[in-house]
Amino acid sequence: MRYHDQLTQWLCAIALSIVLAASAIAQTFPYEVFDKDLPAPSVYKARREQLLTSMAARTACIVLSADVRNRQNDVDFEYRQSSDMLYMCGSPAPGSTLLLVKDGVTINGRSFTEILFIPERKPEREVWQGVSMGPAEAMQYLGVDTAIVTKNMKWILDSIVKNLDTLAVSTLPTRSLGVPLAGKNLYAEGEIKRWLKEANPQCILKTPIRAIAEMREVKDTCELRLLRKAIDISMKGHLETMKGARPGMKEYELEALMEYTFKRKGAQDVGYPSIVGSNYNACILHYTANRRATEMNDLVLADCGAEYHGYTADITRTFPMTGRFTKDQRTIYEIVLEAQDSGIAASTMGSDFRAPHAAAMRVVERRLRELGIITTMGEADEVKRYFMHGTSHYLGLDVHDPGTGGPLKANSVITVEPGVYIPAGSPCDKRWWNIGVRIEDDILITPEGPVNLSGALARTAEDIERLMTSDE
């Protein structure tokens, strides 16, 4: 036998042993996706039952997993599950689909109102990607009534759709992940509509699902625990960044210090791309390039939040690179701080969702007029030149979490984040140019009044200067 043939046989034997070893690992290795901070299966079960209770007869609900996003060539981005899937059952698996049927679906003589479709485990893939969750693990760790491999989903959907009046889909990914035709590179909404037209022309497709948005607007005890953890980690990141800031550092060095602290304290990821803008970049609302070298007397606006088990904080602090605000910087900073104080005070249970914005806007408009930066009181377009965004949004599994936009409810969490941004070329005195300030905190709505969950982080100009100039 030639050497080349022997080498081929040896390589095949090695490959086979790896597959066999992977099979043994897949059978014996414990699946450790959950830790003590995550909700118990009973919590997810209660959420699904709440959604089922809100559904009308002859209605089914589908919750899809997030797409696997390609970065380039054969490299994908790190996977992050869709927020609705995390909320309803906690499944970490791509390609999974949760089906809730108000009237139930019969399988092998048993009726189920909830089914999780999930890809089957493949030991040869686990050699490369680690232990995955299959149907057996899903029932064990997620507490769903039944879990079935995804390839069986189409015939089950085909069997129930003819009896439906409404099919509700929580979110629609770019490409179909098995609903209802696995493996087709078609836009999901168009694919589902074509399938419904053929299977049941009378069935109405609804997306997104308002009932899920209403549920996610009000946080339960488990969610508040995870949010507090994300916020605590984020405060530590902002603290270390302000303490470590020195003129001449690049914006990305500040970003690195921030995100290093997030990871070191246990965050899985950032909740959104970090915004670290200095000087004129602080006047760009969603600036994420973070490449500029800072200079003496620069203000830096850092809008950064850590994600912990899917839940994200959203905190912004604006600080001087020298550790001391200039007179003009401090003047604008105090305006934004006063506006935020007013917005937080207006964040009371039963108040209109836009009440914090209205309160903050009144302060900004009055103070900018007193400085001569704007000249006409009550001209909305003029003040919006310098404060052009809303003051609040819901916070949770998404940085811009879903909600109803109605009166504020107990155990909702919102941001309060007024800002003033005066880029070069603005129609005001040049002394104010390139000053951009935003102060953002995460506010829990309670019957006793608003609670600033991130309020322990230095927020006043005095506290920031004290923090940055301390030798400790």
Residues 6+ apart with CB under 8 A from 236: 261, 265
Told to judge if 280 belongs to the known catalytic residues of this protein, a careful annotator would answer: no
Strand 110-118 relative to strand 419-422, pairing: unpaired
CA of 383: how far to CAs of 10, 116, 363, 374, 388, in Å?
74, 50, 11, 7, 8
438 among known catalytic residues: yes
Active-site entry in 440, 441, 442, 465: 440
Name the DSSP class of 430.
G
Query: Is 421 an annotated catalytic residue?
Result: yes
Does residue 191 carry a catalytic annotation?
Answer: no
Minimal CA–CA distance to 307: which of 253, 252, 229?
229
Q: Name the catalytic one among 303, 307, 401, 442.
A: 303
Q: Say how far apart CA 28 and CA 117 lie, in whole Å.
A: 23
Out of 69, 286, 431, 466, pick the active-site residue.
Answer: 286
Selected catalytic residue, list 80, 175, 225, 389: 389
Residue 373, classed as helix, strand or coil, is: coil
From 137, 421, 441, 442, the catalytic residue: 421
Q: Report whether 120 contacts 162 (CB < 8 A).
A: no
Q: Are 300 and 242 in contact (CB under 8 A)?
A: no
CA distance 440 to 417: 4
Q: Would you call 286 a catalytic residue per the annotation?
A: yes
Q: How far is CA 158 from CA 100, 148, 286, in A?
A: 14, 15, 44
Identified catalytic residue from 417, 441, 442, 465: 417
Check 47, 393, 401, 459 and give the catalytic one. 393
CA–CA distance, 414 with 406 (Å, rounded to integer): 13
The partner residues of 421 in beta bridges, in order of sequence, read 436
Looking at 314, 441, 442, 465, which residue is catalytic?
314
35 is catalytic: no
Any catalytic annotation for residue 76? no
Residues composing the chain: 472
Q: Which two tokens stand for residue 329?
A: 């910087």
DSSP secondary structure letters along 9-46:
HHHHHHHHHHHHHHHHHHHHS------TTSPPHHHHHH
Q: Is 472 annotated as catalytic?
A: no
Out of 48, 121, 438, 459, the active site residue is 438
CA of 44: how far to CAs of 205, 222, 230, 318, 377, in Å? Answer: 25, 10, 20, 38, 51
Q: Annotated catalytic, 4?
A: no
Annotated active-site residue 431? The verdict is no
CA dist 446 and 324 (Å) reads 36
Contact partners, residue 47, CB within 8 Å, separation at least 6:
87, 88, 215
Q: Is 308 a catalytic residue?
A: no
| Active site (catalytic) residues | 74, 286, 303, 314, 389, 393, 400, 417, 421, 438, 440
